[in-house]
Amino acid sequence: STQSTGVSTQSTGGFGNLNKVVLCFNKVFWDPSIHLFGHVSNSTISRGELFLFWSVSKAPVLIALIAGEAATVIETVPDEAIVGRAMTILRAIFGFQTVPQPCKHRVTRWRGDPWALGSYSYVAAGSSGNDYDDLARPVAPVNAASGQPRLFFAGEHTIRNYPATVHGAMLSGLREAGRITDQFVGPPYET
């Protein structure tokens, strides 16, 4: 059944963890024409820890990424220690005197969030792109006389061509809105 397929797909598909550290400053201290810069750790132990910094707007804000094992480890580390580590890295890149303390910060902890339990899907060993299609399949109640689906699934984990992305999540929502509209209003085209 579709329901059992969904359950088995969830056990074979992968679910990753990517955390972010958002640092807000009073002024831009990096070259504003550069929107992305990286940091390579000297140790494989801290690989994935604050390895990429994004400047996503004209505001004095940097977003640092934490991936892999480092993303799981930081879930139990206090914000102050994580921000302190980010500041050490930024000061090593730009110079101690150049980098001010952030006026605000935010640290994500997606694995520890009881409503998320992670941050993105991926095709794990033993799974395939078909698993995304299985998770996207609507479900009809077992005893429904009409046989029409009542439960629809959207999200980046349900779209084979754009998994693990915000635009994939948005496109899957539009796909499901179309399915629901077709079911209740009828398709605006001949099938």
Of 40, 25, 54, nearest to 92 by C-alpha is 40
Q: Tell me, what's the pLDDT at 167?
A: 96
Pull the structure tokens for residue 157: 């984990």
User: Is a pLDDT exceeding 90 seen at residue 36?
Assistant: yes
User: Is a pLDDT exceeding 50 seen at residue 3?
Assistant: no
Map residue 65 onto helix, strand or coil.
Answer: strand
The pLDDT tens digits of the residues spanning 100-159 come to 999 999 999 999 999 989 999 888 888 888 999 999 999 988 776 778 899 999 999 999
Residues 55-66, mean pLDDT to the nearest whole number: 95
Residues 151-178, mean pLDDT to the nearest whole number: 95
Per the CB < 8 A criterion, the answer to whether 89 and 39 are in contact is yes
User: Is a pLDDT exceeding 90 seen at residue 11?
Assistant: no
Per the CB < 8 A criterion, the answer to whether 121 and 110 are in contact is no
Burial class (CB in 10 A: 0-12, 13-18, 19+), 156: buried
**What stretch of H or E contains 1?**
none
Pull the structure tokens for residue 29: 């201290």
Which has more pLDDT, 18 or 42?
Answer: 18
Mean per-residue pLDDT of the chain = 89
Q: Tell me, what's the pLDDT at 15?
A: 87
Q: Tell me, what's the pLDDT at 13?
A: 78
The pLDDT tens digits of the residues spanning 64-74 come to 999 989 999 99
High-pLDDT (> 90) share of the chain, %: 69
User: Is a pLDDT exceeding 90 seen at residue 86?
Assistant: yes
Burial class (CB in 10 A: 0-12, 13-18, 19+), 157: buried
Residues 157-164, mean pLDDT to the nearest whole number: 93
Per the CB < 8 A criterion, the answer to whether 154 and 173 are in contact is yes
